[in-house]
Amino acid sequence: MVILDSSPLNNNNHNKEEEEENEDIYVANCGPAVGISLEEIASAFSEFGEVKSVEAADETGARVIVSFCQDSSARAAIQSFHGLPCPLLNNRLLHIRYSFLKPKPSSSSSVSVVSLEASELQIPGLYLLRDFITTEQEQELLAQVDARPWENLAKRRVQHYGYEFLYQTRNVNTKHHLGQLPSFLSPILENISSFPNITDNLLDQLTVNEYPPGVGLSPHIDTHSAFQGSIFSLSLAGPCVMEFRKYSQGSWLPPSSSPDKIGENPQVFKKALFLPPRSMLLLSGEARYAWHHYIPHHKVNDKLTVILLKL
């Protein structure tokens, strides 16, 4: 991976090195975090010449470095795409500068690429189904949820059905049943069988989380004693980037013995996945018990509603 040192195209105060053209350009406002793959970016810029590589510029997933074989290709790309909506990249308004690449020390804890497919992360038990529900069903779900009372937490609002999750004790009170799951879940429950290896879709606990712009989810593994087996997470209203952490000294253990806490200064591995609206994520097996999952606060640009279904 690389870190970049870039400067505006029109800046009379930058130094001589920054004035020199080169074959590498920094492109902002496109990448996996906004639903555009690195392959699509390479294809769009290939009309200016051979593209050597497209790499993530940082961990946001929305800025990349495009490297051409010739600096004339980079110059043509800047002249054609900078400051304009690109029809080849979902009409996103691109901001482009020359970039001077510098080696970045390798680190297992850095997130360099945001994947569009769960299979790319190679985490056993992690699945993602896009367009799990239709746009019409999404709007109906949001309307049904908004019509019901919310519980206000410090930075977000929640609703509980089936059983209430007690945040103070990180557990549920199984003796206090809130009633059957609401009928508006019918289209979701009907589609649960679309996931692989799902033989029992008896889900009895539902949590609705509404995250305002700029508010994410802290790293955690859902309490083992409170929830059995698989966890389903449906994203509504807006996209987000979910990141996953696994610590080298830990391993996948059964729920009864897998520790929630980790030791000091462990080696950590990070991966990231783009979750578009209406997509359903399944956490099971190793993905459920060995990987912390979280949504970085700066990676929620729109209001996000997440429906969690658990056993």
**DSSP letters along 3-46, please?**
EEEE--SS-TTS-HHHHS--SEEEEES-SGGGT--HHHHHHHHG
| Mean pLDDT of the region 278-284 | 91
Instruction: Tell me whether strands 292-295 and 304-310 are parallel, antiparallel or unpaired.
Output: unpaired
Q: Which residue has the higher pLDDT, 29 or 255?
A: 29
Q: For residues 104 and 40, which has the higher predicted lDDT (pLDDT)?
A: 40
Q: Give dist(CA 50, CA 57) in Å, integer.
A: 20
48-69 core/surface letters (b: 16 or more CB in 10 A; e: else)? bbebeebbbbbbbbbbbbbbbe
The domain segmentation of the chain, as residue ranges, is 2-103, 114-310
**Higher-scoring residue by pLDDT: 43, 298:** 43
Tokens describing residue 263: 């030791």
d(CA 169, CA 96): 49
Q: How confident is the model at residue 254 (pLDDT cuts 50, 70, 90)?
A: very low
What pLDDT is stored for residue 268 in this prediction?
A: 82
pLDDT at 239 over 50: yes
**78 pLDDT above the threshold of 90:** yes
Local structure of residue 304 (DSSP, 8 states): E
- Averaging pLDDT over each range in 125-139, 187-201, 259-273, which range is the top one? 125-139
Looking at domain 2-103, its CATH superfamily turns out to be: RRM (RNA recognition motif) domain (3.30.70.330)
Average pLDDT over residues 265-280: 84
Element (H, E) at 223: none
pTM assigned to the model: 0.63
| Superfamily of the domain at 114-310 | Alpha-ketoglutarate-dependent dioxygenase AlkB-like (2.60.120.590)
pLDDT band at 249; cut points 50, 70, 90: low
pLDDT digit string, tens, across residues 147-163 = 999 999 888 899 989 88
pLDDT tier at 227, thresholds 50, 70, 90? low
Of 49-53, 242-246, 296-300, give the lowest mean pLDDT range. 296-300
* CA–CA separation, 305 and 156 (whole Å): 10
Q: If you search the block for the tokens 């206090």, which residue do you land on? A: 176
pLDDT for res 309: 75
Dist. CA 47–CA 30, nearest whole Å = 17
Q: Decide if 31 contacts 299 (C-beta within 8 A).
A: no
